[in-house]
Amino acid sequence: MSHEHGHHKETFITKYIFSIDHKMIAKQYLISGLLMGIVGVVLSLFFRMQIAWPEESFEIFKVFLGDNFAPDGVMRNDIYLALVTIHGTIMVFFVLTAGLSGTFSNLLIPLQIGARDMASGFMNMLSFWMFFVSCIIMISSLFIESGPASAGWTIYPPLSALPQAIPGSGLGMTLWLASMAIFIASSLMGSLNYVVTVINLRTKGMTMTRLPLTVWAFFVTAIIGIVSFPVLFSAALLLIFDRSFGTSFFLSDIFIQGEVLHYQGGSPVLFEHLFWFLGHPEVYIVLLPALGITSEIIATNSRKPIFGYRAMIASILAIAFLSTIVWGHHMFVSGMNPFLGSVFTFTTLLIAIPSAVKAFNYITTLWKGNLQLNPAMLFSIGLVSTFITGGLTGIILGDSTLDINVHDTYFVVAHFHLVMGISALYGFFAGVYHWFPKMFGRMMNKNLGYVHFWVTAVCAYGVFFPMHFIGMAGLPRRYYTNSAFPLFDELADVNVLITIFAIVGAAFQIVFFWNFFYSIFYGKKATQNPWKSNTLEWTTPVEHLHGNWPGEIPEVHRWPYDYSKPGHDDDFVPQVVPMKEGEEVLHH
């Protein structure tokens, strides 16, 4: 198997570029994800500036958007929509799906279950490089004359199908679809690999109920991905058919620019169903890994077992199951039968139950702990905070009745950014701070980490909390400017405030990037187990070996959460430590 490759002579290309080592692939995902993140965030700053100071001329637009997209430094209205679209696509898929899952599933699954590598190293490499190609295609769409895809990240046809409807639906949309098709293939290869690895390659003693919650989260996430991503693939494929080969899957009875088109019998609502059959599970594909990371970090840094380990697994499974039968809550006012709306309201609000269990379990884990407030721990606590704030408004949006008037307003923008955007980003940051020593053999600067967290935490609330109010004032999302409605004049100040918080918050991410790249080369040398953690990855040497452990793979004797267990001198008992004579298992 793969550890035999360790004896081969490694060249620069096999070690750093076409590597099949899961740790290197994780780093490749991390760095690509972070770079995509910069693009995604900068785009959002551009359109936030347009919302706060509508149709003003900015030097920075002249430089970055150019004369075509921003004549005289004023952003074009269809380019505004293009930026919104690409921001959403990049953040959801490229940063929080590939960047987050790709990095930590790859890094942690083999290390935490005691495997030498992924089940298929080659497929893993292929998965990364296909992701990389999809990144290049998506970014390249920013540079074409007609502009990138502009139909929103949900690319509802007919808008996304007809270049007559918006310029971005020409070549830009073609590139979007090509990029996403490749992305989905990459994601599926990754997910299959994760599932197979977790099922087959666990070391001796590593039963399913001794898996760290990180691995549980990655495992279940991969399953959701396998179930739902192919549906998006087929939706994309049918859309390509409609666009290029004249079929009518999603189009019917269209009159545009003085011309009747030939389409007949299709339905955009069908596309909505297919899209959200992935689109909603996608929220959990983004969020579950972040919650898994948080579970691990909160337990380690509280020096306490995670509270309700089995309840946590049960709630992950419940969320995963429910996530596949709630997609219709995005479509309450789409024109589908209202009875269907009732069903989706019911299933949607049920998700609040496992989510509440998770939130309370985190809080209980903190109770009577000995909290080590490392940057990773702060981001994990921050995640729980935004998960609660953002999750609670889900009770309003998941209720079909209440959705009628806040659907597609800024209330929705506030909700999903807090509950999945910010929460998942916090999980991402927490993971980077926590496993940086494992990835790079060095430590990140903690003081810069603290500055990073506190400014980000304040700005995240500053950006998204006020959006609830402008949403309840009836302000629709995806409006280039609100000046067409005198009714919204009183919201202008709030929008300026939001944009200022966004700019400051984004600027302080420079602190993180500086800390990250500086520490790779000049950070303090890490010790083998800096956080005094129980899990297996900290039994590997600091220097990376292909095959992870120099000798035999260690055997596992206990669950990963024996922190501060009575009868032990240390406040942690790694999974590799055998049970003492007469030692009891104190958890269920």
Q: How far apart are CA 512 and CA 210, in angstroms?
A: 34
Tell me whether residue 80 or residue 549 sits nearer to another protein (CB atom). 80
For residues 459 and 133, the answer to whether their CB atoms sit within 8 Å is no
Asked if residue 197 lies in contact with residue 115, where contact means CB atoms within 8 angstroms, the answer is yes
**CB closer to another protein out of 10 and 493:** 493
| Phi-psi map region of 55: left, alpha, beta (phi>0 left; psi -120 to 50 alpha) | left
Least distance between another protein and beta carbon 473 (Å):
4
Distance CA 146, CA 168 (A): 6
Nearer to another protein (CB atom), residue 524 or residue 580: 524
The phi and psi torsions of 485 (rounded to 5 degrees) equal: -125, 105
Q: Min. distance of Cβ 129 from another protein in angstroms?
A: 33
Q: Is 58 in contact with 501 (CB distance < 8 Å)?
A: no
- Which residue, 353 or 579, has its beta carbon nearer to another protein? 353
- Both tokens of residue 178? 């090509």
Q: Which is nearer to another protein, 121 or 268 (CB)?
A: 268
Residue 12 vs 339, nearer CB to another protein: 339
Q: Output the six-digit token pair for 239.
A: 């859309």
Query: Between 338 and 578, whose beta carbon lies closer to another protein?
Result: 338
**What CA–CA distance (Å, rounded) separates 499 from 504?**
9
Alpha carbons 584 and 185: distance in angstroms, whole number:
46
Minimal CA–CA distance to 215: which of 531, 561, 562, 557?
A: 561
| Of 182, 178, 162, the residue nearest 170 (C-alpha) | 162
Q: Which is nearer to another protein, 64 or 129 (CB)?
A: 64
**Residue 235: CB minimum distance to another protein, A:** 15
Nearest approach, Cβ of residue 520 and another protein (Å)? 14
Task: Please state whether 301 falls in left (phi above 0), alpha (psi between -120 and 50) or beta.
Answer: alpha
Q: In angstroms, what is the minimal distance from the CB of 575 to another protein?
A: 15
- For another protein, give the closer residue by CB, 124 or 302: 302
- Separation between Cα atoms, residue 538 and residue 446, nearest integer Å: 20
Nearest to 32 by CA among 164, 115, 129: 129
Secondary structure, 3-state, 203-246: CCCCCHHHCCHHHHHHHHHHHHHHHHHHHHHHHHHHHHHHHHCC
The structure tokens 């055998």 sit at: 578
53 or 129: CB nearest another protein? 53
Least distance between another protein and beta carbon 352 (Å): 6
Q: Least distance in Å: CB of 185 to another protein?
A: 28
Shortest Å, Cβ 174 to another protein: 18
Which one, of 132, 134, 130, 164, lies nearest residue 150 by Cα? 164
Looking at the Cβ atoms of 285 and 378, the one nearer to another protein is 378
Residue 55: CB minimum distance to another protein, A: 11
| Cβ proximity to another protein, 71 vs 462, nearer residue | 462
Give me the least distance between CB of 216 and another protein, in Å please.
16
| Cis peptide bond prior to 158, omega within 30° of 0 | yes
- Residue of 360, 358, 327 lying closest to 345 (CA atoms): 327
**In degrees to the nearest 10, what's the CA dihedral of 88, 144, 160, 229?**
-50
CB of 400 to another protein, least distance (A): 5
Using the minimum distance from each CB to another protein, give the nearer residue, 50 or 197: 50
135: its two tokens: 């990144």
**520 membership: H or E segment, kind and range:** helix 509-522
Q: How far is the CB of 217 from another protein (least distance, A)?
A: 19
| Closest by CA position to 348, among listed 394, 316, 411, 387 | 394
Q: How many angstroms separate the CA atoms of 437 and 453, rounded?
A: 19
**Residue of 406, 521, 560, 424 lying closest to 470 (CA atoms):** 406
Tell me if residue 254 falls in helix, strand or coil: coil
- Is the CB of 4 or the CB of 490 nearer to another protein? 490
Least spacing, CB of residue 357 vs another protein, in Å: 6
CA distance between the termini of the chain = 36
CA 471 – CA 402 distance, rounded (Å):
13
Of the pair 323, 361, the CB lying nearest another protein is at 361
Torsion of CA 472, 476, 477, 478, to 10 degrees: -160
